[in-house]
């Protein structure tokens, strides 16, 4: 499967940049977006002649609409749209403030959903396409210290499932990509152990392989997927005890 055109939000670093580079190498014309112009300029240099950028903060739904319309105009179509822009962050509930949660939901949920809703009319008008959300294995369960992040990814995953059902008969594929730990600027800040950490270029290859084969939901790397599968089967009473045994007293 090859796409002639693609829009990737948050394509200036990490997973988004590696996806953009891999697609451009295969001949796809790619538009990326992000907030920092300097980072976008660097990224476009790396992506090469098939890449271009639009500065946009996805936290602003009106700006997202303008950005998606401009990408469509520039590319002539939107065959692949990847809502990837997102932020991370962890904090135990005892210290969590609503100020920590609002930006996370604004970018990871509102921004991601706004990207998808702005793209849908273009895909329907052109007779089909592929919508993708980069969520996380963190959305399968409320992970310790990750209330805001887990909630944001669970919300976006659920949204994507509804969109898939609604567009089932309209030749629009919808994929939910749920990575484990990937080596990017986002995870570089983490001070805790990250099992099965995968380089971002390898992650991009895995994601594109899964999209080409039409995967609806793709959680990876597979050892992390197996671990999360087990975690989802743990009964609530035991999950509370295991999660609650993580020692946050220093932070509480
Ligand atoms: N790395 C992991 O282990 C991992 C695991 C599971 C899921 N994910 C998800 O994968 C996605 C990409 O993460 P990453 O690890 O590649 O992170 P990253 O390297 O920090 O990249 C994030 C990208 O999103 C952009 N971005 C952030 N906020 C934005 C906003 N408000 N508007 C527009 N662009 C914005 C950033 O550019 P600017 O800062 O310049 O805006 C950057 O291009 C995220 O949704 C993340 O939650 C990552």
**Distance from residue 187's CA to the centre of ligand 1 (Å):** 10
Instruction: Give the CATH number of the domain where residue 111 resides.
Output: 3.40.50.720
**What mean pLDDT is predicted for residues 218-234?**
96
- pLDDT of the residue at 181: 97
Whether 252 is covered by a domain: the verdict is no
Query: Full-prediction pTM beyond 0.95?
Result: yes
| Distance in angstroms (rounded) separating the CA atoms of residues 127 and 74 | 18
199 lines ligand 1 (CB under 6 A): no
Whether 20 is covered by a domain: the verdict is yes
Domain that holds residue 73: 5-244
Q: Which atom of ligand 1 is nearest to the CA of 197?
A: 3
- pLDDT of the residue at 252: 45
Question: pLDDT digits over 175-205, tens only?
Answer: 999 999 999 999 998 888 899 999 999 999 9
Residue that is written with structure tokens 């509930």 in the block:
93
| Distance in angstroms (rounded) separating the CA atoms of residues 15 and 134 | 9
How would you class 236 by CB atoms within 10 Å of its CB: exposed for 0-12, middle for 13-18, buried for 19 or more? exposed
Residue 239 annotated in active site: no
Q: Which of 140, 149, 218, 239 is catalytic?
A: 149
Q: Which atom of ligand 1 is nearest to the CA of 9?
A: 34
- pLDDT of the residue at 1: 65
5-9, strands of its sheet edge to edge: 51-55, 29-34, 5-9, 80-83, 129-134, 172-179, 217-220
**What mean pLDDT is predicted for residues 87-115?**
97
Question: pLDDT digits over 134-172, tens only?
Answer: 999 999 999 999 999 999 999 999 999 999 999 999 999
89 lines ligand 1 (CB under 6 A): no
């Amino acid at each position: 499967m090859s796409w002639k055109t693609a829009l990737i939000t948050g394509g200036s670093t990490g997973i988004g940049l590696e996806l953009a580079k891999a697609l451009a190498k295969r001949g796809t014309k790619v538009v990326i977006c992000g907030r920092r112009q300097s980072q976008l300029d660097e990224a476009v240099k790396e992506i090469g002649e098939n890449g271009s950028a639009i500065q946009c903060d996805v936290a602003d739904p009106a700006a997202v609409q303008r950005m998606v319309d401009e990408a469509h105009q520039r590319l002539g179509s939107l065959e692949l749209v990847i809502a990837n822009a997102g932020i991370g962050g962890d904090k135990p509930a005892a210290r969590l403030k609503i100020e920590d949660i609002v930006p996370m939901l604004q970018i990871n949920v509102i921004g991601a959903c706004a990207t998808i809703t702005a793209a849908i009319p273009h895909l329907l008008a052109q007779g089909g396409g592929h919508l993708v959300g980069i969520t996380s294995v963190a959305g399968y369960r409320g992970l310790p210290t990750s209330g805001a992040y887990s909630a944001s990814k669970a919300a976006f995953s659920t949204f994507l499932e509804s969109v898939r059902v609604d567009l089932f008969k309209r030749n629009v594929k919808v994929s939910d990509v749920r990575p484990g730990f990937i080596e990017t600027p986002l995870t570089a800040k983490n001070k805790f152990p990250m099992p099965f950490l995968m380089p971002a270029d390898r992650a991009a290859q895995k994601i594109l392989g899964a999209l080409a084969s039409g995967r609806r939901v793709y959680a990876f790397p597979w050892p992390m997927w197996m671990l999360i599968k087990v975690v989802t089967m743990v009964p609530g009473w035991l999950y509370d005890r295991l999660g609650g045994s993580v020692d946050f007293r220093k932070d509480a």
